[in-house]
C-alpha cells in the first residue's frame, strides 16, 4: 500500500533569530535609561507616539512606566481594545524617578489615533502630527478628526522651544491585526516624509506579539525566531519605509499584576534605542 504524500508545512520558527538580543542584559539597559542625561538640565527629549486605533500607544506608555518603576502602573488611560481609540487630547507623560519631585528627562506624548473613514480625517491627522512634531500643539488640545489645529486656537503654540519639539517619532502597530489598508499606508508614508523633512527619526513598535504568535506567547525569548512576526516586520518596512532595524517587537503590560523580566527586556531594549535615536536627532537640530 502506497503512502499518501505529506503536505508541506510552513516553518513557524526560523533556524536563526532575525535579530540578536542578550536577554540577560536587562540591567544594563535599565542602567542606561537611569543614567540618561541631557546637556541642558531643563531640556526634555520628546517622544511622540502615533498610529492606528487600538494598537497600544497608551499601553506602551504605561508599560514603560511599569518597567522603570518596577511595578505595574497606569499613568495613561486605556480603553477597551474592542472600542475605538481612547485618546482624544494631546497629552504629555513624564515618569517619576525615585520620588515625586524628580522625573526621567524624556516625555512620552500620546495623540488621537489614525482613522481611515475618510480622506478628510486622514489629511487632518497628518497635519496634526506635523504640528505636534514642530511643537505647535500644547497639552490639553482636543483633536477634531474633521480639521486640524488652527493658529487661532488657544492650544496653538506659535513659539515652540527645543523641548516642545518632537525628537523621535514612534509609530505603534498591532502585530496581530489585519494588514494595513492602502489608505493607512499612504498616510503613514506622508507622516514619515514630514518627519524626514523636519530631521526627525522615526521608529516603529510592534505590540501584541503574544496575540499574533502563540508560540511567542509561550516562549517570549523566541520572538526573534518567529517567522510570522518577521514576515510582518518585513512587509511593514517595505510598505512604510521604516528600516527593519528601527522596528521593535514588544509585549505591553495589560492584565498582569506583576512585572516580568522577559517583557521588561523587550520594552527596555526598544526604549534604549528610541532614546539613542532621539538624542541623535536632538543634536542635529
CATH number, residue 157: 3.40.50.300
Mean pLDDT by groups of 10 residues along the chain of 285 residues: 42 88 91 92 92 93 97 87 63 88 93 86 93 96 92 96 94 94 94 95 96 93 95 96 97 94 97 94 74
Number of domains in the chain: 1
Residues 6+ apart with CB under 8 A from 109: 46, 47, 48, 49, 90, 91, 92, 93, 132, 166
pTM as predicted: 0.92
For 200, the domain range is: 41-283
What's the CA gap between 144 and 165, in Å, rounded? 21
Please check whether residue 5 lies inside any domain of the structure: no
Judge whether 96 lies within some domain: yes
Is 256 a domain residue? Answer: yes
- Here the cell at position 195 is 518627519
pLDDT of amino acid 185: 95
Give a yes or no: residue 241 inside a domain.
yes
Sign for the CA dihedral angle at 38, 39, 40, 41 comes to positive
- 20 within some domain: no
Task: Give 91's contacts (C-beta < 8 A, 6+ positions apart).
Answer: 76, 109, 110, 111, 139, 140
- Please report whether residue 21 resides in a domain: no
Task: Give me the pLDDT at residue 34, please.
Answer: 96
For residue 70, the model assigns a pLDDT of 95
C-alpha of 181 from chain center: 19
Domain-embedded: residue 29: no
Are 202 and 246 in contact by the 8 Å Cβ rule? The answer is yes
In a domain, 185, yes or no: yes
How many whole angstroms separate alpha carbon 184 and alpha carbon 173? 11
DSSP strand pairing (201-207 vs 168-174): parallel
Amino acid at each position: 500500500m502506497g503512502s499518501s504524500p505529506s503536505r508541506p508545512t510552513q516553518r513557524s520558527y526560523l533556524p536563526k533569530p532575525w535579530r540578536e538580543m542578550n536577554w540577560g542584559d536587562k540591567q544594563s539597559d535599565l542602567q542606561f535609561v537611569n543614567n540618561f542625561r541631557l546637556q541642558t538640565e531643563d531640556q526634555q527629549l520628546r517622544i511622540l507616539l502615533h498610529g492606528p486605533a487600538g494598537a497600544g500607544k497608551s499601553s506602551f506608555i504605561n508599560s514603560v512606566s511599569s518597567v522603570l518603576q518596577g511595578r505595574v502602573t497606569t499613568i495613561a488611560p486605556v480603553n477597551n481594545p474592542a472600542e475605538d481609540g481612547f485618546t482624544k487630547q494631546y497629552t504629555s507623560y513624564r515618569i517619576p524617578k525615585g520620588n515625586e519631585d524628580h522625573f526621567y528627562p524624556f516625555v512620552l506624548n500620546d495623540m488621537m489615533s489614525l482613522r481611515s473613514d475618510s480622506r478628510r480625517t486622514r489629511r487632518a491627522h497628518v497635519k496634526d502630527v506635523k504640528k505636534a512634531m514642530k511643537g505647535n500643539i500644547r497639552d490639553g488640545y482636543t483633536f477634531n478628526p474633521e480639521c486640524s489645529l488652527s493658529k487661532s486656537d488657544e492650544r496653538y503654540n506659535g513659539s515652540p522651544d527645543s523641548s516642545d519639539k518632537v525628537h523621535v517619532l514612534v509609530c505603534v502597530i498591532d502585530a496581530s491585526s489585519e494588514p494595513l489598508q492602502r489608505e493607512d499606508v499612504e498616510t503613514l508614508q506622508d507622516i514619515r516624509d514630514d518627519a524626514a523633512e523636519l530631521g526627525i527619526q522615526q521608529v516603529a513598535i510592534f505590540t501584541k506579539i503574544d496575540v499574533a504568535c502563540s508560540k511567542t506567547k509561550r516562549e517570549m525569548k523566541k520572538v526573534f525566531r518567529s517567522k510570522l512576526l518577521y514576515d510582518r516586520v518585513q512587509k511593514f518596512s517595505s510598505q512604510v519605509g521604516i528600516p527593519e532595524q528601527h522596528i521593535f517587537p514588544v509585549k505591553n503590560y495589560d492584565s498582569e499584576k506583576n512585572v516580568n523580566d522577559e517583557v521588561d527586556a523587550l520594552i527596555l531594549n526598544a526604549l534604549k534605542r528610541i532614546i539613542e535615536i532621539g538624542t541623535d536627532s536632538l543634536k542635529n537640530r
